[in-house]
Amino acid sequence: MYSYEKRLQTFADWPFREDCQCTPELMARAGFVHCPSENEPDVACCFYCLKELEGWEPEDIPWSEHAKRSPDCEFLQMKPFDKLTAIEFFRLEHGRIRNYICEQAGGLALSQGPALLPCLLFVPPSICPSSPAIVDSQSWATSTMQWACGGGRQGKHDSIPIPLEAL
């Protein structure tokens, strides 16, 4: 969803179109995709930081609301996609995947610090098949890992890679 055009396509049923600040075009430029529910037709989620915002008002400015609610979102500091080097894109994508895995692992906060999250593509499937693990650098160095799985169980286990297609 790094593509503005792809994000814009998600706003086909967006309730705000004219005479407002939160048009589909401005929402997509601010990194949002439209992800409505039956009860909330105006839910938008940043494809990068996964911050969901709802209750939009016509005078809300998408970029400002995004920055106010998720000031550390790397999308907000990203240079234009077509100007990214391969290494810059890889770093951004690693961060986006880290955000996704943390969200899937029971909403573990990124505030636990980047040192805890250097590599997040591993999980002990026999213990917690539906929740990815958090790998720390010390454990990674010894081919074992400390993991957190929803309920906070902890242990050391061998790890296996998660195919990127699964994300």
* Residue that has been written with the tokens 């979102």 in this structure: 73
Q: What is the pLDDT of residue 101?
A: 86
d(CA 33, CA 47): 6
Predicted local distance difference test score (pLDDT) of residue 106: 61
| Whole-angstrom distance, CA of residue 65 vs CA of residue 95 | 21
Rounded CA-CA distance 162/122 in Å is: 6
The reported pLDDT for the residue numbered 137 is 37
Classify the C-alpha dihedral 21-100-141-114 as positive or negative: positive
Give Cα 158 to chain centroid, integer Å: 26
Give buried/exposed letters for 27-42 (b at 16+ CB in 10 A, else e).
Answer: bbebbbbbebeeeeeb
Q: Residue 11 burial (CB < 10 Å; 0-12/13-18/19+)?
A: buried
pLDDT value at position 20? 94
What structural domains and CATH numbers belong to the chain? 4-77 (1.10.1170.10), 106-166 (no CATH)
Task: Chunk the chain into consecutive blocks of 10 residues (it has 167) and report each block's average pLDDT, rounded to whole numbers.
Answer: 91 92 96 93 94 95 96 90 87 88 65 43 40 40 34 39 43
**Spatial distance between the Cα atoms of 129 and 91, rounded to a whole number of angstroms:** 27
pLDDT of residue 18: 86
pTM: 0.62
Say which residue the tokens 């911050």 belong to: 51
